[in-house]
Amino acid sequence: MKKYVSLFFLLLSHFFSNGQLLNCTTSINYGNNKENGKYASVNGISMYYETYGDPTKQPLLLIHGNGGSVKSAGCQIEYFKKDYFVIITDSRYHGKSGSGSEELTYRLMASDYNALLDHLKLDSVNIIGQSDGAIIGLLLAIEYPSKVHKLIAAAPNLRPDSTATYQWNIDDMKKGLQEAESQLANGNNSAELLRKKALLHLMLNYPNIKTDDLRKIQAPVLVVFGDSDYMPFGHTIEIYQNIPRANLFIVPGAGHRSYRLEPEIFNLMAKRFFDNPFSRPTAKDGF
């Protein structure tokens, strides 16, 4: 039994290394800042969020990945709060936010974020989304186009199959889900375990975004991947080529969490993308 319990927590540590390791210095304990933390009632849950910067400036919404939290984007909050009004939340089933009773899907989470923007009376925002947050960002741009001014989608996937993420990653998630179900069957009904089961189920069954949906996106999008991400490079190109107004940025020497592991280069390119007019020159233009 100890062997299986150890395997279970090893797998969970792989999937839910939720952004606490940051390659930057932060001035505030983001995610636990009572002065800046608030709750909003959205879609039947209480959603925790923090805001930083001048509310009169361009709003920037940060969306963390699976198993993450407000703290996951600490390097981005620290960098952007001087020039933007930064909004960062714990997504549904994460951190201090509620879970609700509905099946967890990315579209439900996108609806949460749209409702939060309505709560904050924000009509249009820039977005940085990482992994699951990038999926949510794409869905916001597809389903709530007026809300998205510019989007940085870092390491999203369109499907839960081996064309979009390596089979070993899928196999590891299946093992994690089986272990979670075994623990539940043995009487461990902790809220943390129930959340982790739901998050694994989410990644194994969703998203299901069609390339036709990507072609509906009106906002400029910067697609970002690490050069050693666990998404096949062909999937990266598929996403980039099907978004009409997209740029592509491959971060050298980086894996799936480039926004945390290489924050200096990530933030520099993000600011350049947000601050400059969008352009997508052809190969002939640059000849």
- Residue 198 inside a domain? The answer is no
- Residue 1 inside a domain? The answer is no
1-15, 38-52, 119-133, 142-156: range with lowest mean pLDDT? 1-15
> What pLDDT does residue 228 have?
86
Q: Is the pLDDT of residue 2 over 50?
A: no
pLDDT tens, residue by residue, 192-203: 999 999 999 999
- Residue 202 inside a domain? The answer is no
Residues in CB range of 240: below 8 A, 6 or more apart: 223, 246, 248
Q: Is the pLDDT of residue 7 over 50?
A: no
Q: What does 41-58 look like in DSSP terms, one character per residue?
A: EETTEEEEEEEES-TTSP
The per-residue b/e assignment along 8-38, b for 16 or more CB within 10 angstroms, e otherwise, is: beebbeebbebbeebeeeeeeebbeeeebbe
Q: Is the pLDDT of residue 11 over 50?
A: no
Q: Which two tokens stand for residue 273?
A: 């993308």
Looking at the structure of the chain, the number of domains it has is 1
- Residue 78 inside a domain? The answer is yes
pLDDT band at 286 (very low <50, low <70, confident <90, very high): low
- Residue 193 inside a domain? The answer is no
User: pTM of the full predicted structure?
Assistant: 0.91
- Residue 133 inside a domain? The answer is yes
Taking the C-alpha atoms of residue 96 and residue 62, their distance in angstroms, rounded to an integer, is 16
> What pLDDT does residue 20 have?
52
- Residue 73 inside a domain? The answer is yes
Q: Is the peptide bond before 207 cis (omega within 30 degrees of 0)?
A: yes
Residues in CB range of 260: below 8 A, 6 or more apart: 19, 21, 22, 23, 72, 75
Burial of 2 (0-12, 13-18, 19+ CB in 10 A): exposed
- Residue 83 inside a domain? The answer is yes
- Which residue range is the domain that position 90 belongs to? 18-172+212-275
pLDDT band at 150 (very low <50, low <70, confident <90, very high): very high
Distances, alpha carbon 231 to alpha carbons 111, 263, 284, in Å: 26, 20, 29
CATH code where residue 102 lies: 3.40.50.1820
> What pLDDT does residue 160 have?
97
Q: How far apart are the first and last CA of the chain?
A: 63
Tell which residue, 281, 143, 285, has the closest CA to residue 219: 143
- Residues 67-87, mean pLDDT to the nearest whole number: 96
